[in-house]
Structure 1
Amino acid sequence: MKQMYAPPALSAALPAALSLSLLTLLISNAYAAPAPEASDAAMPTVVVTASAVALNVQDAPASISVITREEIERQPVYDLGTLLRRIPGVSGGLAPNGEQSKVKLRGLPENYTLILIDGKRQGNSADTNYRPDLGRQDLNWLSPEMIERIEVVRGPMSSLYGSDAMGGVINIITRKIPQKWSGSASANLTRPQDSDRGDATQMMLNVAGPLAQGVGLRLGGSVTRQKPDETTGGFVPAGREAPNGVGGSRDENFNAALNWTLAPGHLLSFDGSYGTQRATQSGTQTAPNRPLISSWGATKLVRKSAGMGYEGRWGKTEAKFNLYHNRYDNNDGAASSRAGSTILDGRVNQPLKLANIDHLLTLGGQWKRDTLFNNQTIGTIPIDYLGHAVVGSSLSRNTSALFAEDQVFLNDAFTLTLGARLDHDAKFGNHTSPRAYVVYRPASEWTIKGGVSQGFRAPTLKESTPGAATQSRGGGCGSLAPLGWNSRSGGCYMAGNADLKPETSTNAELGVNFQRAGWDLGMTYFHTNFKDKIEYDALGFFHGYWWTRMKNIQKARTRGIEASANLPLASSLTWRNNLTYMMESKNLTTGATLLATPKLSVFSALGWQVNKPLYLELSAQYTGKQLHGGESFGVTFAKAYTVTDLTANYAINPALTLRAGINNLTEEGPRADGKTNYYVPSRRFFLGLTSRF
């Protein structure tokens, strides 16, 4: 029986004195520090996101990829999207902010992906923005220095996580608190070759260790600054890139965790975090006709979180409970908005033997309260499209859930996972999400897995409220064109709808994997049908305004192939590859292609361990032709392009590592053709230093 159910465990832009002080600290600590403990690289990869218990990645009942600590350390990580887009089934992550920064799983928008840190929901800041699509994805509220690994599950996981996991789950796992005090500090600088592109700098620190017998503390933080790019102001010479770029930003994140071992097998934990994301215009304008680019989203977004948890073991029975609160505050001039969620969840794992067959049964539940206040979009219009007076700017909703999962170990080669979750929403009633998944190991080198699962996404507070109306200046009003609206009509209101139903999906997938002597080959076919898809639908001209509203009007289907091939070409040379081919990504109601889904995406990296201290990697990412622009304005496509990166890591000694490289080595990207303004960074040079102490 293959089961593992143990609990989861500087640049000129900065003041010269600050840069010098940090580098001095890094180097002095490095030469005084002991060598790090032996790596766990040879240990089996254990994941905790695809099931209610920890499992070997090959036995996990889902399509799952893992980004390791080693991969995170090899380059400056200003945005986790730059790492996530390297794995199969993932698109987006192309820019530091804006729409193209957002990560999508299997072609679905970012609001279909649930983001967790150590298994806990991070809430959602989207509805605190005037336009939810303008803000950044909530991926970067944790210092990369604190991340041990990132687990990405592709496909619906509503049977475990409920709503918001319709497209998949991204679970960020933090580093454990060690038995001895240790830590790391990093400084990174990225400088574009083009003078009209802004520098990026980053400083990170992580320290952890024991305070007393059985009590451990971890502290971490990071400061990331992106200077704004400049724009040509509209005119694009032949052969130049479209006039686009990224706005300036300054992000700060601070995190703390305290673990207290009450007795062997019983752990009490506390954690808290505070982070800000600021839009800035700090930079130097090189010419009057080249203004600095403004950032998308909030002028200042603040995130606060606090929580406590308990993990316990009684013989073979294990339990885990968490109580935590997340809050986002958007301070955008005279406007004010905030979103919060309070969550209590828990589960109990119990091995059983029934009819001489081993089972691992998990029972769990969750209670959640969501709140939203937004005086820009809720209660700011005098009447809704029904003619009702609109008052108040606050919304709230309670949800609860029960779930069960049974892993049935039919024999040493065959495991059947059955699971279901019952969600109760105070507004939308009950919804059941079942799944069945099979993992078959006919030989030690081969794994065949597949299954069927259902997903659902309940409408958000804003989507289901008629008085929650976002004003669009044109881009969101395209569905009104057949009714006489045009881009000179002054925009429209995009409103919620109290009669919405949850979106649902049925996903089927089948995959095969082969591993031997460092070779790792895999392929997965997936097919997902959606119904009751929520989109804006044209209403018309009412009470002096053009209106669209949310409505369950569409069906959609996605299907495709994900493949990977990791090949040991020599003892010091490895070749990693993955591919995503979208065979179909279609709105079945309108016949239109779904937005921003490349037909083909390929990532390939050749890694060379030149000698013990030096590692080189040459990687290339191909992004195929993809839809650009709204359906109502005609279907146009961004051309395919390939971005090539070269990176180097040099271990000066066991505690000091130097990183350097060139991003977009060949200056590739979508070129101006009058139809697209997709952003791809120009050639950039980076330098980084990490000290472990």
Structure 2
Amino acid sequence: MSTHSPRWIRRHALTAISLAFGSSLIPTLSWAEAIELPTISVTANPLGVASDDMVVPVSTLAGRELSLQRESTLGETLKSIPGVSSTYFGPNASRPIIRGMDGERVRMMQNGVGILDASSLSFDHAVALDPLVIEQIDVVRGPAALLYGGSAVGGVVNAIDHRIPKEAIDGVTGRSEVRFGGAENQKNGAIVMDAGNGVLTVHADAYKRKTDDLDIPGYAMSSRKAAQTGEVRENKGRLVNSGSDADGGALGASIALENGYVGASYSTFNNKYGTVAEPDVLIDMESKRWDFASELRDLGSVISKVKVRMAHTDYQHQELEDGEVGTTFKNRGLEGSIEASHGNIGPLSGVIGLQFHNSRFEALGEEAFVPTNRTKTRALYLYEELPLDAFKLTFGGRVEHAKIESSGGDGFGPAQSRSFTPYSLATGALFKLDEQWSVTTNLSHNERAPSYFELFADGHHVATDQYEVGSSELKKERSNGIDARLQWKQQHNSFSVGAYYTRFSSFIGLFNSGNLVNEEGETGQADSEIAEAEFKSARADFKGLEAEGKFRVYDTVGTLDLNLRGDYVRATNRDTGDSLPRISPLKLGFGLDYRFKSAGARLDVLRAFKQNRTDENELVTDGYTLVNATLTYKLPTPDRFQLEAFAKAYNLLDQTIRDHTSILKDIAPMGGRSLMVGLRGDF
């Protein structure tokens, strides 16, 4: 397939969206056979168990709820989920943080296969996926290393886009969305369509996103940082160099078999955005991805089902300084899995899986702080479930071999190679006390091989303004974890509260050495003004609480639901007794959701408390109260077509909001009071 095949889709994305809303298209779609795809959290359970029967804590955003929560990045889209925060490097780059862990401890996936980019290397690197075309997002809170490797010790984010249709359709179905406004003056649109004849199903999607510099209340720099550094506070009311221009699209197809499907897709992602930390630097990002997926069911009593997923990614981004290319990052690789479900052995069911990953990473240019390297992993895992009346037991194990090779040269010393064999074990249980109440608990032992930058980094990392030094002597990261939840559900009401504790015997972190060095890493020189930070192992604890609930409080004239949420995490370096950096403070929130016929209104209030448990190199962060409001109205339309207008007001109190989890919190606050309007349609 030509690498330029979907370009016509991107070029005419907004035109297609307007047609999708136009009356001329509706008669064409009137014969379409609508399909209803169930929203099931399968990311943490290869047996396809619904979320209510999951042993591990999983949250799912899909459909209308995802549309109303959708933001420009995955990190900001998922912040409404208890236990989830974001790295927020301005409005364009934001990875999710789960239970205080991010980077190499949160596995970023697309349709069950890892997203190959450079977002875990640096906070200013965006995830190579836009939420506009995502149909469902599963978030696993807590260790999922058994199924996905050590990079899932903190959790998993799996974005599902249906670019390879799993179900055959006979007709046309799809959705469209446009939105305008907000603090960044966004102008976004997307269209997603599937068409089929009952055997062959074709998928196409396209999106376009354009934003301006973010409007902020007050100054970009905090008063604390100004007092610390003596700098003059400038840039009031606007976050300089925070605009973006992005587009992308995909073509996919699948063939329905008698007992499954087979399909493939090709997608592109393009994003050019300002880095915020440097007013004259833009990142020009491009990712091309080829996916293959197949599933065969009802194969027999020994092996009942086989599932194959693979993706090849060609990723590149260039950092432009005053329009000139300064540094180029490339990541190319293949990742996939083959999974077989065995026939039931009495009540016992389970799967055995093989996963593989091959990638080559290059950083070329003046700001390259890691050498060219290769990463190869192979893993074998087993997952089993044993239901016994009101009790269900899950258990399994994983063994993985990882080889990370550095090419050296260009000031990075000789070539090096390290090999690791991480092991993971996990067991969990679900006990239904009655029809409404249940208790779940999980125990796990997790191991993670160090990443290439933890092993081989050696250079000035401009995004963090540190000289980062890796250690090729690092050993595996090891941790043991436990969590438990109490859940209740009755009709429209539900509630859950949980606690967790993860203890690392060797937590790999980036710790300030106390030295000042120059661009060459030398101390004691006249230009030695850069703080040196080293990747080291330490003993660490992560513990916290999570709670959420939904209650129907009124259902006479319309319905009114009360939503509650809260989370707290504390992370400590046991070697020093200090708090680990960028840990989210206590957060409590509530929401009111009213619906009457075609209209809806929603109010969300979140209180984040002051964070004064800080690392020695970070400042205290003030608390804030975030108030958002949403209005929706379903417009009258013909059958099989739904059209909903919505308006969302952000930060109604116009507070200066600085997330403690952001490394830029003292120079890049969140957006000020703003209004965004949009229109979404389903057919």
TM-score band w.r.t. shorter chain: 0.7 to 0.9
**Residue identity in the other structure for 1:646:** A
Distance of 2:238 and 2:485 partners within structure 1: 42
Distance of 1:235 and 1:401 partners within structure 2: 46
Matched residue, 1:443? 434
Residues 644 and 66 (structure 1), Cα distance of their counterparts in 2 relative to 1, 3 Å cut: same
Matched residue, 1:668? 655
Matched residue, 2:398? 421
Residues 244 and 625 (structure 1), Cα distance of their counterparts in 2 relative to 1, 3 Å cut: farther
Cα pair 2:478 2:504 within 8 Å, conserved = yes
Q: CA offsets per residue over residues 230-266 of structure 1, 9 Å max, x none?
A: 79687979999797566111111212221112x3113
Give secondary structure in 2 for the equivalent of 1:443.
coil
Q: CA offsets per residue over residues 582-609 of structure 1, 9 Å max, x none?
A: 2x32122222222222331123221111
Cα pair 2:17 2:190 within 8 Å, conserved = no
Cα pair 2:32 2:170 within 8 Å, conserved = no
**Residue identity in the other structure for 1:81:** G
Distance of 1:536 and 1:632 partners within structure 2: 13
Distance of 2:33 and 2:549 partners within structure 1: 30
Q: CA offsets per residue over residues 438-484 of structure 1, 9 Å max, x none?
A: 0111212111100111223322223212xx4231469554xxxxxxx
Cα pair 1:242 1:671 within 8 Å, conserved = no
Distance of 1:589 and 1:307 partners within structure 2: 44
Give secondary structure in 1 for the equivalent of 2:294.
strand
From 352, 359, 373, the equivalent of 1:370 is 359
Give runs of aligned pairs for residues 508-523 of structure 1, distance below 5 A. Answer: 508-523=482-497
Q: Does structure 1 residue 651 correspond to structure 2 residue 634? A: yes
Residues 107 and 378 (structure 1), Cα distance of their counterparts in 2 relative to 1, 3 Å cut: same
Q: CA offsets per residue over residues 204-242 of structure 1, 9 Å max, x none?
A: 0111111x5511111111111111247968797999979
Distance of 1:86 and 1:609 partners within structure 2: 20
**Residue identity in the other structure for 1:446:** W
Cα pair 1:84 1:93 within 8 Å, conserved = no
Cα pair 1:259 1:268 within 8 Å, conserved = yes
Q: CA offsets per residue over residues 647-688 of structure 1, 9 Å max, x none?
A: 11111124221111211112123489x994451210111110
Matched residue, 2:455? 464
Q: Does structure 1 residue 620 correspond to structure 2 residue 597? A: no
**Residue identity in the other structure for 1:458:** A
Instruction: State the shift of 1:75 in Å.
Output: 5.5
Cα pair 1:476 1:494 within 8 Å, conserved = no
Q: Does structure 1 residue 79 correspond to structure 2 residue 68? A: no
From 108, 121, 125, the equivalent of 1:115 is 108
Give secondary structure in 2 for the equivalent of 1:510.
strand
Distance of 1:235 and 1:452 partners within structure 2: 42
Residues 628 and 518 (structure 1), Cα distance of their counterparts in 2 relative to 1, 3 Å cut: same
Matched residue, 2:379? 401
Residues 234 and 528 (structure 1), Cα distance of their counterparts in 2 relative to 1, 3 Å cut: closer
Q: Does structure 1 residue 552 correspond to structure 2 residue 536? A: yes
Cα pair 2:215 2:672 within 8 Å, conserved = no
Distance of 1:379 and 1:247 partners within structure 2: 23
Q: Does structure 1 residue 150 correspond to structure 2 residue 142? A: no
Distance of 2:463 and 2:70 partners within structure 1: 37
Instruction: State the shift of 1:379 in Å.
Output: 8.0
Matched residue, 2:226? none
Give secondary structure in 1 for the equivalent of 2:104.
helix
Cα pair 2:69 2:77 within 8 Å, conserved = no
Instruction: State the shift of 1:326 in Å.
Output: 1.7
Matched residue, 1:384? none
Residues 452 and 297 (structure 1), Cα distance of their counterparts in 2 relative to 1, 3 Å cut: farther
From 5, 29, 51, the equivalent of 2:45 is 51
From 629, 637, 640, the equivalent of 2:623 is 640
Instruction: State the shift of 1:147 in Å.
Output: 2.8
Which has the higher mean CA deviation after the structures are superposed, 238-247 or 269-278?
Answer: 238-247
**Residue identity in the other structure for 1:84:** L
Cα pair 2:13 2:207 within 8 Å, conserved = no
Distance of 2:250 and 2:626 partners within structure 1: 34
Instruction: State the shift of 1:23 in Å.
Output: 4.3
Residues 243 and 235 (structure 1), Cα distance of their counterparts in 2 relative to 1, 3 Å cut: farther
**Residue identity in the other structure for 1:340:** R
Give TM-score, length-normalised by structure 1: 0.81
**Residue identity in the other structure for 1:556:** A
Cα pair 1:308 1:324 within 8 Å, conserved = yes
Instruction: State the shift of 1:133 in Å.
Output: 2.5
Q: Does structure 1 residue 691 correspond to structure 2 residue 668? A: no
Distance of 2:222 and 2:152 partners within structure 1: 42
Cα pair 2:474 2:537 within 8 Å, conserved = no
Distance of 1:215 and 1:627 partners within structure 2: 58
Question: Sequence identity, in percent?
Answer: 18
Instruction: State the shift of 1:535 in Å.
Output: 2.8
**Residue identity in the other structure for 1:224:** R
Matched residue, 2:263? 269
Residues 553 and 191 (structure 1), Cα distance of their counterparts in 2 relative to 1, 3 Å cut: closer
Residues 57 and 295 (structure 1), Cα distance of their counterparts in 2 relative to 1, 3 Å cut: farther
Q: Does structure 1 residue 331 correspond to structure 2 residue 325? A: no
Residues 81 and 548 (structure 1), Cα distance of their counterparts in 2 relative to 1, 3 Å cut: closer
Which has the higher mean CA deviation after the structures are superposed, 177-186 or 617-626?
Answer: 177-186
- Cα RMSD for the two superposed structures: 3.4
Residues 597 and 301 (structure 1), Cα distance of their counterparts in 2 relative to 1, 3 Å cut: same
From 198, 207, 222, the equivalent of 2:207 is 222
Distance of 1:568 and 1:406 partners within structure 2: 37
Which has the higher mean CA deviation after the structures are superposed, 613-622 or 593-602?
Answer: 593-602
Q: CA offsets per residue over residues 386-430 of structure 1, 9 Å max, x none?
A: xxxxxxx52112111100011112x22111101111011123321
Matched residue, 1:69? 63
How many residues are treated as equivalent by the alignment?
614
Distance of 1:497 and 1:315 partners within structure 2: 50
Give secondary structure in 1 for the equivalent of 2:116.
coil
Matched residue, 1:9? none
Matched residue, 1:286? none
Give secondary structure in 1 for the equivalent of 2:433.
strand
Cα pair 2:70 2:77 within 8 Å, conserved = no
Q: CA offsets per residue over residues 320-358 of structure 1, 9 Å max, x none?
A: 0123212220122143220122123111111323xxx41
Which has the higher mean CA deviation after the structures are superposed, 365-374 or 495-504?
Answer: 495-504
Residues 297 and 446 (structure 1), Cα distance of their counterparts in 2 relative to 1, 3 Å cut: farther
Matched residue, 1:682? 672
Distance of 1:548 and 1:293 partners within structure 2: 19
**Residue identity in the other structure for 1:413:** A
**Residue identity in the other structure for 1:622:** R
Distance of 1:646 and 1:352 partners within structure 2: 49
Matched residue, 2:287? 303
**Residue identity in the other structure for 2:260:** H
Cα pair 2:571 2:583 within 8 Å, conserved = yes
Q: Does structure 1 residue 360 correspond to structure 2 residue 349? A: yes
Cα pair 2:62 2:137 within 8 Å, conserved = yes
Residues 125 and 167 (structure 1), Cα distance of their counterparts in 2 relative to 1, 3 Å cut: same
Residues 343 and 676 (structure 1), Cα distance of their counterparts in 2 relative to 1, 3 Å cut: closer
Cα pair 1:338 1:372 within 8 Å, conserved = yes
